[in-house]
Structure 1
């Protein structure tokens, strides 16, 4: 069976000339047809990837009391630790534990008239017993951000846009976030939903996997495994790129299946997005591409907004109902729009 999820080498983009043109064509095809690809040649040393996975394992090995001391429900900014089954996808528990980390910024003082999404900005929560974790995850964010920006420039060029077409939406204060994640073996979970079927909401997700399988992408009405390949990142398209390209690029549904009994799986997803105050533009595609644009696929029960802050807040409220009830009771029973 041919490989469904292709492998792309980002070094070809930097070579210019025919190599760059072929890379852009391959990138556009991968993003449109599958929405996922493996990225080689990204420039992040293998040692740094191993270091961030080791930092993740060290965090999840902490006593439960240390992890619960920074539980997400204590943060109005949706930062911190979530225990097994604590996050929900489409109303069903995800059997993973995780630490959510965003851009480290001070909270915005609230006053009447401010958009509700301004409440999302704020600091992270860090475990006192593991002081090196902050440095390790911050360093990974810097590395992953640089790769994501290179890819966004490549995507713009692949659609016959100026390479900096999306830069106004993320420059200055991009709203990226990341997780470190532990998937417990099937013996310790309620069912096999590591993460339920969903799309990602930002521009791009860059995923670092350990050696264990579990990620699956929906392709041609079937689930296709995206097994780990050493020295690569798995990249998938988020809904903001789907919006910008009027559906020419595809934000693909994916899920994670719980590992078998006795196996733990660790991963580090990095979500690169636009500023919370940004509005996503609509590309003026050339006629041949515009004719193939399918329009963004928006669920009536989960509509997409071109205003980034509302999209992010909507997603967070749905995924973490405990945080919503504690910190956003004014929004729980009505639309944030």
Structure 2
């Protein structure tokens, strides 16, 4: 059976593990129990809820509120910061402009990454370094920059602590991933609005996919829509107030030789007359890093299934190459505007 076409379209709600991150900072045996939970959840499902993470709930509400404010701006203000203006894949994408598996995603979004200065010269064999650069910000919403960058920094700290926890859960030193983020973790943040189904052509908010980085942390509002493919069935991941939905990315699958699971997931559009907002944070190693392959031992090594290579989705241990392939595929307008030579080379 093709993994994107499960036989049973009916939805059910699984009981995703709920992990309290405060237990990672507790004394033994509570800390070890958390690491065991983390390992099982990431190996068996690839998704879990994270509570006890220490992120200010007021900041959570602020970032959802500023997202609504941005998407409520006049069209001209949003289009003034369109992603197609940015060779770094930063800015606004209108509804239907992003593609997953070649089909339109019915959502609008605002993408940003770490604030940086664009490189003046990029080697031909490192085209992913063009992802480095400044974000675009709407002049009509001056409060947005401070709130969103504070949010991004909070999630950077949390995700790097989570990465240390994963290393320990896999029997490695807590520093196992440090070299791959020593030059700064690659950060990608999306503010997303899914309009009601009366405004869309079908129910694809975003199509079935896996994430390209180490970890993804998603803050959902009160409206359901996120679904995960488990045992050939799509399962709804209901919102849980104050929590993050965390999922494993392709880089952790590669690093663990397939012991950890990057799971297919999608978002369906809300019912007519309802909108859905979410904020997704993607964390990866720095763009010039190579994914470290962890020396698993014992039962962990025996249970490692090897990374799952799919015909339509090649996996690369070169972090920048893995990140850039997804950006080029998802945003063909940006690719055509700024990566024409690279596309021509690939076609040849």
SS in 2 for 1:176: strand
Are 2:228 and 2:264, in contact at CA under 8 Å, matched by a contact in 1? yes
Partners of 2:168 and 2:230 in 1: how far apart? 26
Q: How does 1:64-75 map to 2 (within 5 A)?
A: 64-75=75-86
1:76 aligned onto 2:87: yes
Instruction: Name the structure 2 match of 1:5.
Output: 16
RMSD after superposition = 1.5
Deviation at 1:331, TM superposition (A): 2.0
Deviation at 1:332, TM superposition (A): 2.0
Instruction: Name the structure 1 match of 2:5.
Output: none
Instruction: Name the structure 1 match of 2:157.
Output: 146
1:89 aligned onto 2:114: no
SS in 2 for 1:139: helix
SS in 1 for 2:343: coil
Q: Structure 1 336/309 Cα, relative in aligned 2: closer, same or farther at 3 Å?
A: farther
Gaps of 5+ in 2: 1-11
Aligned residues: 337
Instruction: Name the structure 2 match of 1:134.
Output: 145
Partners of 1:149 and 1:115 in 2: how far apart? 25
Partners of 1:45 and 1:65 in 2: how far apart? 33
Q: 2:323 aligns with which of 312, 315, 321?
A: 312
Q: 2:268 aligns with which of 253, 257, 281?
A: 257
Are 1:110 and 1:119, in contact at CA under 8 Å, matched by a contact in 2? no
Q: How does 1:223-234 map to 2 (within 5 A)?
A: 223-234=234-245
Instruction: Name the structure 1 match of 2:136.
Output: 125
TM-score with structure 1 setting the length: 0.97
Q: 2:116 aligns with which of 88, 93, 105?
A: 105
Gaps of 5+ in 1: none
Are 1:183 and 1:259, in contact at CA under 8 Å, matched by a contact in 2? yes
TM-score with structure 2 setting the length: 0.94
1:326 aligned onto 2:337: yes
Q: Deviations over 1:194-245 (max 9, x none)?
A: 0000000110000001000000001111011101011111000000000000
Q: 2:32 aligns with which of 15, 18, 21?
A: 21
Moved over 3 A (4+): 1-4, 111-114, 333-337
Partners of 2:295 and 2:327 in 1: how far apart? 31
1:268 aligned onto 2:267: no
1:195 aligned onto 2:206: yes
SS in 2 for 1:105: coil
SS in 1 for 2:341: coil
Partners of 1:5 and 1:23 in 2: how far apart? 15
SS in 1 for 2:186: coil
SS in 1 for 2:267: strand
Q: Deviations over 1:287-335 (max 9, x none)?
A: 2110100001121332111111111111111000000111111122443
Partners of 2:231 and 2:34 in 1: how far apart? 24
Deviation at 1:45, TM superposition (A): 1.5
Are 2:21 and 2:52, in contact at CA under 8 Å, matched by a contact in 1? yes
